[in-house]
Structure 1
Amino acid sequence: MQRLQVVLGHLKGRPASDPAPAPRAAPCWNGVPLASEEDVVVVHGRRTAIGRSGRGGFKDTTPDELLSAVMTAVLQDVKLSPDQLGDICVVTSQILCLCLLSIDSVHRGSRQWPA
């Protein structure tokens, strides 16, 4: 409710008799804590096996089970205990390459370079 009143206050404007407050500097903080010497960042990649959609060995496996197996393998690889782990960022990719042609391929309609 308070948020709505603030927005409506912006739309209503200021009476002519009310002077505008003097501008003041405010610190810019985006909510992300500053880096510390004690911070450790682990960047490690693992992937799950690929199976046919709706068929095959992983048809009854849930995404959290796959993530659990991957996270266990990552922690073993980097020799990190789960209680030392803070925030994690998991990225999935369903598109292997955004380009239609590989780097080594040449489109048939393209001009041939002189030898």
Structure 2
Amino acid sequence: MDEVDGRLVGGLVVLAALADARSFGRAAERLGMTQSGVSKAIAKLEARLDTRLVHRTSRAVELTEEGRALVERVAAHLAGIGEAAAATSKSRDAVRGRLRVNVDPLFSRMVL
């Protein structure tokens, strides 16, 4: 397997969403993608890993044994990536430091 890159991680995110949703349409909704985009992402991931991950029928989508094993192995890592990104985003938006306010002493006693 090639080294990890954004396309691989993106494909794994799509696979995890598909495993959870059990439908290309619902996975697409959750990810803000088209159904065709989800299908293409899965096909690219399968080609990259050279293994079938999803069994598709006209009525259902089911992960293969390899697909289930892969989702089980990467789920915690994907959750960790999401948590790290959220924590980074929150820390960037948080205001820090000392705030000094210069007000009249009478105002401070009456209001503050």
With normalisation by structure 1, the TM-score equals 0.28
**Greater CA radius of gyration, 1 or 2?**
1
Structure number with the higher strand fraction is 2
Higher RCO (Cα < 8 Å, 6 or more apart): 2
